[in-house]
Amino acid sequence: MEFSMVNLLSLLLLPVFGALVLAFVKQATAAKRLALSVSLLTVLLTIPLLLNFVPDASMQFEQRFAWIPSLGIHFHIGIDGISLPLVLLTNGLVPLIILAAFGHNHSGGFYALVLFMQAGLLLVFTALDAFAFYVGWEVALIPIYFICALWGGENRIRVNLKFFIYTFLGSLFMLAAIIYLHLQVPTGDYELTSFYNLALDSATQRWIFWAFFLAFAIKMPIFPFHTWQPDTYTEAPTAGTMLLAGIMLKMGIYGVIRWLIPVSPLGFAAYGQLALVLCLIGVVYASIIAFKQRDAKRLIAYSSIAHVGLIGAGIFAWNVQGLQGAIIQMVNHGISVVGLFFVLDIIERRLGTRELADMGGIAKPAPALATLFLVIVMGAVGLPLTNGFVGEFLLLMGVYQYGVWYAVFGGLTLILGAVYMLRLYQRTMLGQVTDRTANFSAINRTEWLVLVIVAVLVVGIGVYPKPLLQLSEAAVVDLIEQVGPIVKH
C-alpha cells in the first residue's frame, strides 16, 4: 500500500467519532451545530480526495489491515472511478440532509444516527473486501431503522420492522454467497479481486447471482421486491426518507455494478435479461401507480422506484453509455430526490398534511419555493440542461443498444414521468389558493439555502456533466472489458 496523502480511513472514522460525541449531546441547537460542522469536515476531507484522484481505471487511496486473520478477513478500502461519485454524493448530501433537518429540533441522538449511517455507507462504497462490504451494508441499516422508527409516522413500527426484516433477509443471502465465494478462493481471503478472478462453473454462478441479486434488488428496490419502499418512505421522517432514497438505495445499485455482475458474469449472462426486464417493468409500473397517488410523499416514493428501475436497466444493458448513465444518474437521483422530499417536508410542516387534495396555489404566497421546486421537478422529469436529462439520455441509449423495444418501453418514463411530476407540481404550487395554503409562510434562510444548493447542482450537472462523467469513464470501460461483452440469450 503506497503512501498517499489522503487517508481514506480517517474519512470513514470521522463520522463515527462525531456520532459518538453527538450521542451525548442533549441540547438541540448545540447538536445541530456540531453535526453540521462534522459533516462539513467530512466534505473538507473529501476535497483532497477529489484533487488527488487520477481518473483512470486504477484503485486508489487503498488501505488494507488484517482484521480477522484467522478467517482471512481484511479491512481493505479504496476508491476508483465507480465508487468516487458515490462517496462524493454521500458526503455531499449528508450536510444537506442535516441542514434540512434543522426545522425539527432533534436532539443529538438523531444526528449521531445520521453520521453513523454515513460511516456505514462510506464503508459500503469503498470496501474492497467482501466482509467489510457486508459489515458496512448492515451497519448502515441499523441507524436508518432507528431514525425511521423513532421519528416516523403513526404506523412506523410495523412498517419499519417489515422493512428491516425484508432487507435483512436479502442481505443474509448475500452473506451466504460471499462466504461461499470465499471458500472457493485459493488464497482464502475475501478480496474483491480474488472474487473477480474466480472462474466458477455456470451452475454455481447462477445461484450466486440470485443470492446477490436478491439483496440488491430488495435494497434498490426492483419490482417486484419494492413493496416495503413506499410505506417506509411515507412513514419515515424526511431526513430518513432522504437518507433512504438519496443514498441508501444507491448501495444496491453500486452493489450490482461492483459485485453482482463482475463476480458472477455467467449468472449475469443467464439472468441479466430477466433482471433488465424486471427493472423496465418497474419503470412503467411504478410511474403508472404514481399517477393517482393522493399522498405526495408516496408519489415521490413510486417515482423513485421508476427512476431506479431505469438505472438498473441501464446497468444490466452492460455497456459504457448505460453504466456511465447509471453512475451519473445515481448522483442525480440522489440530489433531486433530496430536493423533492425537502420541499414536501417544508409543505408538510406548514400545512400539516401530505394530501395533494389539501394543497394548491402555494406559488402565490411562496414564489421562491415554487421556482426552486420547478427546477428540481424539471430535473426529475429529465429536461435537457438539467442533470436528469444527462442520466436518462445515457441510460436509454445504453438500453437502446441492448434492444430497441426495451428502450422504447423504458423511454415511456419520459412521458409518464412528466405526467405525475407535473401533476405533483400543479396540485401543490399552482391553481387556486385554498384556505389551508392561504397563509403559507415563505421559506426561511436555511430552507432557501438547501433548495438553492440542490437547484444549482441540478442545473450545474445538467449544463456541464463532463467532469463527473470523466471520473468514472476509465473505470467503467475497464470493468466492462473485464466482464466481457454481454451474451444475449
Partner 1 sequence: MIDLVWLIPLLPLVGFLINGLGRNILSKSLSGIIGSGVVLVAFLLSGGLFAEVYHARQAGEAAAFTQSLFEWIGAGNLTIALSFLVDPLSAIMLLIVTGIGFLIHVYSIGYMKHDEGFAKFFAFLNLFIFFMLLLVLGSNYIVMFIGWEGVGLCSYLLIGFWFKNSAYAAAAKKAFVMNRIGDLGFLIAVFLIFTTFGTLEFAGIFPQAAGMAMGDTTLLLITLLLFVAATGKSAQIPLFTWLPDAMAGPTPVSALIHAATMVTAGIYMIARSNILFTLSPITLQVIAAIGICTALLAAAIAITQNDIKKVLAYSTVSQLGYMFLGLGVGAFTGAFFHVITHAFFKALLFLGAGSVIHAMSDEQDMRSMGGLKKHLPVTYLTMLIGTIAIAGIPPLSGFFSKDEILAHAFAENRLLWVLGFIGTLFTAFYMFRMLFLTFFGRFRGTAHQQGHLHESPATMTIPLVILAVLAAIGGALNIPSALGGSHALADFLAPVFADSVAKSGAFHLDHSTEYILMGVSALAAVVMAFVAYRRYVTKASIPVADDAPRGLLARLSYRKFYVDELYDALVVRPLNALSVFCYRFIDRRGIDGVVNGFGKAVGESGKGIRLLQSGNVGFYIFMMVIAVAALLAYGIFNG
Partner 2 sequence: MSAIITLSLLAILVLYLGLFKARNMLLPVSLAGLAATLVLYALQWGSTAEPLYSGMVLFDGYAIAFSVLCVTVTALVLLLSKDYFDSRSTHVAEYYALILFSLTGALLVVSFHNLAMLFIGIEIMSVALYILAGIRKKDFASNEAALKYFLMGAFSTGFLLFGIALLYGASGSFDLAVIKAHVVDNPQAVSPLFHAGVILLIVGLAFKVGAAPFHFWTPDVYDGAPILITTYMSTVVKTAAFAGFLRLFLFCFVPLQDFWMPVLLVMTVITLFVGNITAIVQQSFKRMLAYSSISHAGYMLFAIVAIGSTSAASVLTYAGAYSLASVVAFAALILVKRATGSDHFEAFNGLAKKNPYLAIALTVSMLSLAGIPLTAGFVGKFMMFSNVLADYQVVLVVLAIINAAMAIFYYFRVIVAMYFKPLDRDQVVVSGQYRTVLLLAVVITLVLGVYPAWLTGLI
Instruction: From the list partner 2, partner 1, none, pick the one residue 373 interacts with, judged by a Cβ distance below 5 to 8 Å according to partner type.
Output: none
Share in percent of the chain as helix, strand, coil (round to 5): 75, 5, 20
Q: Is 76 in the site for partner 2 (CB under 8 A)?
A: no
Longest dimension (CA), the chain: 70
d(CA 43, CA 337): 20
Exactly one of 57, 84, 263, 407 binds partner 1 (CB under 8 A); which one? Answer: 407
CB of 152 to partner 2, least distance (A): 9
Which residues inside 58-117 make contact with partner 1, applying CB under 8 A?
none
State the DSSP string of 35-82: HHHHHHHHHHHHHHHHHH---SSS-EEEEEEEEEGGGTEEEEEEE-TT
Exactly one of 139, 172, 414, 459 binds partner 1 (CB under 8 A); which one? Answer: 414
Q: Is 54 in the site for partner 2 (CB under 8 A)?
A: no
Residue closer to partner 1, measured from CB, 60 or 387: 387
Residue closer to partner 1, measured from CB, 188 or 384: 384
Nearest to 268 by CA among 322, 216, 317: 317
CB of 213 to partner 1, least distance (A): 17
Interface size with partner 2, residues (CB under 8 A): 30
CB atoms under 10 Å from CB of 235, counted, come to 22
The piece of 28-36, 142-150, 329-337, 473-481 that touches partner 2 (CB under 8 A) is: 142-150
Q: Is 190 in the site for partner 2 (CB under 8 A)?
A: no
The piece of 1-9, 138-146, 149-157, 430-438 that touches partner 1 (CB under 8 A) is: 430-438
Q: Is 478 in the site for partner 2 (CB under 8 A)?
A: no
Exactly one of 5, 51, 154, 183 binds partner 2 (CB under 8 A); which one? Answer: 183
For 465, the 3-state DSSP assignment is coil
Residue closer to partner 1, measured from CB, 65 or 405: 405
Q: Is 162 in the site for partner 1 (CB under 8 A)?
A: yes
Cell of 299: 408519489
State the DSSP string of 394-440: HHHHHHHHH-HHHHHHHHHHHHHHHHHHHHHHHHHHSSPPPTTTTT-
Mark 448-477 with x for binding to partner 2 (rule: CB under 8 A) and - for no binding: ------------------------------
Distances (CA, A) of 467 to 81, 279, 321, 328, 470: 12, 28, 15, 11, 5
Contact (Cβ atoms closer than 8 angstroms) between residue 358 and residue 481: no
- What is the four-CA torsion angle of 470, 472, 477, 479, rounded to 10 degrees? 170
Instruction: From the list partner 2, partner 1, none, pick the one residue 439 interacts with, judged by a Cβ distance below 5 to 8 Å according to partner type.
Output: none
Residue closer to partner 1, measured from CB, 60 or 319: 319
Contact (Cβ atoms closer than 8 angstroms) between residue 297 and residue 234: yes
Q: Is 14 in the site for partner 2 (CB under 8 A)?
A: no
Nearest to 236 by CA among 297, 293, 289, 296: 297
Chain contacts with partner 2 (rule: CB under 8 A): 66-71, 134-135, 138-139, 142, 146, 149-150, 156-157, 161, 164-165, 168-169, 172-173, 175-176, 179-180, 182-183, 207
